[in-house]
Amino acid sequence: MASANRLPVTAEDILRSKRNGGGTAIHLKRSSVALIDTTNLPSKRQRLSRDNDNDDDDYAMTDMHHGRKTLKVAPDWGGGEVTSTPAPFSSTGQTQILLAPPASTPAAYRNTSNPLSLSHPKWGLKREVVLGFGACGITEMYPWQSECLSLPGLLSGEQNLVYTAPTSAGKSLVADVLAIRQVIAERKKAIIVVPYIAIVQEKTKFLKKVLEKVRVMADSKGHWDKQKRWRSVNIVGFHSGAKSRLGWKELDLAVCTIEKANALINAAIEDCSIDHLGVVVFDELHMLGDPHRGPILELLATKILCLSEEHIQIVGMSATLANVHVLAAWLHAQAYECTYRPIPLREHYVVDNAVYAYNDRLTARIPLSELKELKDPVTNAVITLAFACVKDGHGVLVFCESRRRCEDMSLLLIKFMPRCDDNTRERRMEVVRDLATTTTGLDFVLERTVPAGVAFHHAGLTTEEKDLIADAYDRGLVKIICCTATMAAGVNLPARRVIISPRMGRDFVSPAMLRQMKGRAGRKGKDTVGESFLVCRKSDIVAVKALMEAKMPSVESCLAGEEGGLKRALLEGIATKLATSADSLDDYIRATLLFHTTADPAVTLRPIIAAALEYLKVQNLITEDTHTGYFEATKIGNATVASGFGPDEGVFLHQELSRALRNFNLECDMHIVYQFTPIHSSSTQAVEIDWKVMRDEVEHLDEHALRAATFVGVNPGFVNRMAQGGALKEDTPANIEKARVYRRFYVSLMLRELINERPVHVVAANYDIARGFIQQLSSTCRGFATTSATFCKVMGWTGLAVLLEHYSWRLDLGVKDDLMELARIPFVKSYTARVFYENGLKTIEAVAAADVSVLRKALEMAQPKRLRLRQEEEVKMAARLQERAEIVLAAARRIYEQECVVELEE
């Protein structure tokens, strides 16, 4: 379908005009009349009468804007918008229109005879939603899903819900139906909170597919049209490093990590638009018990509970909740438990080449092998079990204890993989080529394993690599993935068999983690059978049996833990004005899970609350009016909450930024890069300094950067001493602080290389750190710079805010100042942008005017040099680069077009 965003003046027109010496004297074209098959469109009378009633299955009116003619077609008539505009760069200027045939009337899809059908009227789902679920393989509810949704007050949004069901039981559908109803029927916003970025991405993609054809009524503040009009549902995924042009105001449905959801809710409370929120879904509710992230989840739910005036429905779910009734009582929710799993899981454990069912019945013996590599019984069992499953054409996940083991196991597995046909081999090579064209180039291990249908997946890979591998596995090209716990939670992939090491690193996995890992096998819609094999050493058998029999632990509040959750909860309650007086503070505390699960809470909690309030006062984050007893957040307190930091981080950031404000070293970018290096990246878990590498780097700093280093407290002499074998003991507060500064500086050296166009894999190799970590670091820093900028804005430090935003952008694009324009084009980032620039492609206009072969050549030059492909592969690689060059050209032209039109309009 022709896009409604197409503009009447194309980049080609402008470039041609410029070439002909026409300068900017471009004539706006009036578009030609739409070539629409009008026989299927309703008459004007029908249109007007439909337009007057309020049925949201209706369609909107014809519109003229900027010389284009746009027909917005009702969902019943195929939906979408039909625009009659000359296609950019089409030589004929002919309109491209594809109009879906009209569907049956809205009422016709209702299935009133089967109450499990998604189209049954009791669920109140629009036809397009039902079709959307159908496209994802879901047409009917399972009886438990129907029973759960039929609990009183759920569909109407009046009641909250906490439920538990096994992995792969289909929990998401229940929450999705409730969220979608709020968005479409009630025209409220919905937030779905999930713990990991990968799940944000998967869920956002799924919901976009389900709601693809749905049109909702835009509010009166539509972008360019004051009339009533229809638009698609705005679904946005929020996580650190994600970019979206849609914010709280525009979105209908947000899928967020816990931290992003908290920030979104704080902002909505702050600008008094929280009443637009209809429902919040907490997926993996057991995360409440996570010491680091649980407190934020708890205070988020607490705030929603306290917003009693606007009933916001709360929906919480998990496969690993032992105390569902306690959590339901806390959230004033209906509780629902179910044990149904659509595909029952066959669970086994393996020890010394013998396979046992969970009831200790011996079910099979794994033959011993003469091969040297398979002498170890654990390796022998893993390879044999994986091979047997792949031989039958099914997918396997092998959970390994370390990243190293994932890679070694993949390399070993390929020796045993069955041969594949030419077509499969060619498609696998496509995946290899895709991996080769990522910014980091082709990984040495994946290059060998993917053609055989094996891959590994762990935090050391970049997000592009992880996505390509998961996609290849989903499409059945990769048959075995050796992974760490990164693939354990929430991922929906076609694994018939999961083979699990009971250890992660040196420790045993937790019972909840084990359940999640096993839960990846036999997912409905992905496979028809599910099997798990816990492969352990003889010496571990007692501990493994205990692990297998362990009950799910009860989820407990971590708000009063060492992470300072209570201080943060109080600060946020006060800053958002939910808890400012003694009474409201009391109500607020009573709404926490902590209060709910503490024996004699009024007595037990009083001293720790008083201590937390005192801390906030001493740190100048809040003030207390001694006459009225009212609490108020200070500027620093508000800045801390607005930027999503905890109280400790806010105080530290304030100290650092105020020091920097008084004496900022702007001779080069070293000081500012240090400034936006996240504070937590300097914790011991995040990075270990290689003092020899640091010494080499510090020795190469120019005098300006050295001055900045000294300014933040880094002494080159000390670095040298450490490189020669010195030890930095973190035994006193001063030494802890010193170590923190050195670690932060070490990380900022890596970041400085990134913004100065060194590719991720080169920086990773230089510091001997996984490229996935460097990539993650860069996106965390971007987020940190953006939130620090918010902190500065609230503090009134606008100059510093602008500086931080600028560097956040540079980090995003991975280029120096002179390439920032060019790097707006997709695929033209970092080193690639530099290659373009040095080959004369210095501006977007130059790229838009270039021949595609020139762009292909430039992309070829920018390829990482680790590629060693055979000749036939070279040909295919060239074709891949040609495709990419065409995308670059089209994108450059689009950006150029848009800029020219803005210029003309101005």
Ligand X SMILES: Nc1ncnc2c1ncn2[C@@H]1O[C@H](COP(=O)(O)OP(=O)(O)OP(=O)(O)O)[C@@H](O)[C@H]1O
Point out which residues bind ligand X (CB under 6 A): 136-138, 140-142, 145, 165, 167-173, 319, 490, 492, 519, 523-526
DSSP 8-state class, residue 521: B
CA-based nearest residue to 747, from 781, 772, 724, 784 = 781
- Contact indicator for 524, 138 with CB cutoff of 8 Å: no
Decide whether 524 or 695 has the Cβ nearer to ligand X.
524
Decide whether 137 or 367 has the Cβ nearer to ligand X.
137
Tell me which H or E stretch contains 455: strand 454-457
431-434 LR contacts (CB < 8 Å, sep 24+): 431/468, 431/472, 431/477, 431/478, 433/873, 433/876, 433/877, 433/880, 434/468, 434/880
Supply the minimum distance, in Å, between the C-beta of residue 284 and ligand X: 8
Residue type, 810: R
Supply the minimum distance, in Å, between the C-beta of residue 39 and ligand X: 38
The rounded distance, in Å, linking the Cα atoms of 525 and 530 is: 12
Supply the minimum distance, in Å, between the C-beta of residue 146 and ligand X: 9
Supply the minimum distance, in Å, between the C-beta of residue 115 and ligand X: 13
Q: Which residue bears the tokens 């049996």?
A: 545
CA separation, residue 451 to residues 421, 429, 435, 447, 499 (Å): 11, 6, 12, 7, 22
Decide whether 333 or 708 has the Cβ nearer to ligand X.
333
Decide whether 85 or 145 has the Cβ nearer to ligand X.
145
Supply the minimum distance, in Å, between the C-beta of residue 338 and ligand X: 10
Decide whether 520 or 744 has the Cβ nearer to ligand X.
520
Supply the minimum distance, in Å, between the C-beta of residue 342 and ligand X: 7
Decide whether 140 or 860 has the Cβ nearer to ligand X.
140
The rounded distance, in Å, linking the Cα atoms of 228 and 48 is: 12
- Contact indicator for 68, 61 with CB cutoff of 8 Å: no
Q: Residue with CB nearest ligand X?
A: 170
Which residues are bridge partners to 336 per DSSP? 163
The rounded distance, in Å, linking the Cα atoms of 7 and 332 is: 52
Which residues are bridge partners to 365 per DSSP? 354
Supply the minimum distance, in Å, between the C-beta of residue 132 and ligand X: 12
Decide whether 190 or 612 has the Cβ nearer to ligand X.
190
Decide whether 145 or 592 has the Cβ nearer to ligand X.
145
DSSP 8-state class, residue 378: H
Supply the minimum distance, in Å, between the C-beta of residue 188 and ligand X: 23
Supply the minimum distance, in Å, between the C-beta of residue 527 and ligand X: 10
CA-based nearest residue to 296, from 316, 326, 266, 322 = 266
Supply the minimum distance, in Å, between the C-beta of residue 163 and ligand X: 10
Decide whether 530 or 646 has the Cβ nearer to ligand X.
530
Decide whether 173 or 560 has the Cβ nearer to ligand X.
173
Decide whether 93 or 525 has the Cβ nearer to ligand X.
525
CA separation, residue 228 to residues 54, 182, 864, 870 (Å): 11, 20, 51, 59
- Mention every residue, 6+ apart, whose C-beta is less than 8 A from residue 15: 845, 848, 849, 896
Neighbours of 392 (CB within 10 A): 10
Supply the minimum distance, in Å, between the C-beta of residue 297 and ligand X: 17
Supply the minimum distance, in Å, between the C-beta of residue 512 and ligand X: 11
Decide whether 145 or 313 has the Cβ nearer to ligand X.
145
Region of 187 please: left (phi>0), alpha (psi -120 to 50) or beta: left
Strands 62-65 and 68-72: antiparallel
Decide whether 476 or 525 has the Cβ nearer to ligand X.
525
Supply the minimum distance, in Å, between the C-beta of residue 471 and ligand X: 16
Q: Over 649-673, what HEC string results? A: HHHHHHHHHHHHHHCCCCCCCHHHH
Supply the minimum distance, in Å, between the C-beta of residue 490 and ligand X: 5
Supply the minimum distance, in Å, between the C-beta of residue 169 and ligand X: 4
Q: Any alpha helices (H) in 228-358, and if so which ranges?
A: 258-270, 294-306, 324-330
CA separation, residue 93 to residues 86, 96, 238, 747, 864 (Å): 4, 9, 39, 53, 39
Structure token digits, residue 207: 């919901």
Decide whether 284 or 465 has the Cβ nearer to ligand X.
284
Decide whether 512 or 544 has the Cβ nearer to ligand X.
512
CA-based nearest residue to 643, from 686, 670, 679 = 679
Decide whether 155 or 414 has the Cβ nearer to ligand X.
155
Neighbours of 495 (CB within 10 A): 28
- Contact indicator for 460, 773 with CB cutoff of 8 Å: yes
One-character DSSP codes across 767-808: HT--HHHHHHHHHHHHHHHHHHHHHHHHHT-HHHHHHHHHHH
Decide whether 498 or 621 has the Cβ nearer to ligand X.
498
Supply the minimum distance, in Å, between the C-beta of residue 209 and ligand X: 11
Supply the minimum distance, in Å, between the C-beta of residue 366 and ligand X: 28
CA separation, residue 171 to residues 21, 192, 203, 450, 677 (Å): 63, 13, 13, 33, 39
Tell me which H or E stretch contains 280: strand 277-282
Supply the minimum distance, in Å, between the C-beta of residue 126 and ligand X: 18
The rounded distance, in Å, linking the Cα atoms of 343 and 502 is: 23
On the CB side of 645, how many CA atoms lie within 13 Å of its CA?
28
Structure token digits, residue 684: 């011991």
Which residues are bridge partners to 419 per DSSP? none
Decide whether 169 or 803 has the Cβ nearer to ligand X.
169
